[in-house]
Amino acid sequence: MTTLRNAYLDALGIDRWVPRNAPVETAPEIEPPRVIETAPAMPAARAPQVPSFVPPPPVATWDELRGRVAACTACDLCKTRTQTVFGVGNTSAEWLVIGEAPGADEDRQGEPFVGRAGQLLNAMLLAIGLPRETVFIANILKCRPPGNRDPKPEEVSRCLPFLSNQIALLRPKIILAVGRIAAQNLLATDAPLARLRGKLHTFGEANTPLVITYHPAYLLRTPADKRKAWEDLKFARATYARITGGANAPGNG
């Protein structure tokens, strides 16, 4: 596992951390929670709601939700998509990773984060001990915006109920939002990502801890910020350890 993790840290372009008095696999320093900011239960999209649109009531099973998403025609993205991209992973996962929207590869394959950004996301997750298949990965939007443009507020407002339903079914212990679009929509804010990362937020009525980091596609373009992303990932891991009383929590060695 150590060798594997080192390989992924190398992929991230991050110097390996070696603790002084602990085995290599022990987590780096535990950081106490910084600021805690709470997001609304499921914020309305920041744009005005479209009055004629009534979101469907939440459903109680993953299969039903999958069917709903696959059949969705609530916005014009249904006209240009190849298929919907529901999300992937372990439906008992304790970690939920939320990105922005499918790109061309995801639209073709029907699975989130399968392109180059997905490879880096896998590396980021594995660097904190999370093989891709152990988490659940979803996006703010279930359909690809043409040309990978930013999601429109109306698209977000029509799609967010699906993510809300996914969160209600999954009941994750922690959410990791990657990128500005995911962060701003989950927190219903226009604040820049630089102001949102580096602190602990909570999400929804369950006050689920929410950590923000950079989008892997951004990190591919801006490798200098990988160091900050690594700090965010360690912060997320320490937060998870603290709330679950895990091996990396303070007082547990």
Q: Which residues here bind ligand URA, judged by CB under 6 A? A: 99-103, 106, 112-113, 117, 139, 217
Closest approach of Cβ 42 to ligand URA, in Å? 19
Closest approach of Cβ 193 to ligand URA, in Å? 13
Alpha-carbon distance of 156 to 55, in angstroms, equals: 12
Please report, in angstroms and rounded to a whole number, the separation of the first and last CA atoms in the chain. 19
Task: Tell me 247's DSSP state.
Answer: T
Closest approach of Cβ 103 to ligand URA, in Å? 4
Residue showing the smallest CB distance to ligand URA in the complex: 99
The residue among 184 and 248 lying less far from ligand URA, judged by its C-beta, is 184
> In this structure, how many other beta carbons lie within 10 angstroms of the beta carbon of residue 207?
12
The residue among 28 and 151 lying less far from ligand URA, judged by its C-beta, is 151
Closest approach of Cβ 217 to ligand URA, in Å? 6
The residue among 108 and 199 lying less far from ligand URA, judged by its C-beta, is 108
Closest approach of Cβ 115 to ligand URA, in Å? 6
The residue among 226 and 242 lying less far from ligand URA, judged by its C-beta, is 226
Alpha-carbon distance of 195 to 137, in angstroms, equals: 24
Alpha-carbon distance of 90 to 108, in angstroms, equals: 21
Name which of 59, 65, 58 is nearest 86 in CA terms.
Answer: 65
The residue among 232 and 242 lying less far from ligand URA, judged by its C-beta, is 232
Q: At what angle do helices 116-127 and 2-12 cross, to 10 degrees?
A: 130
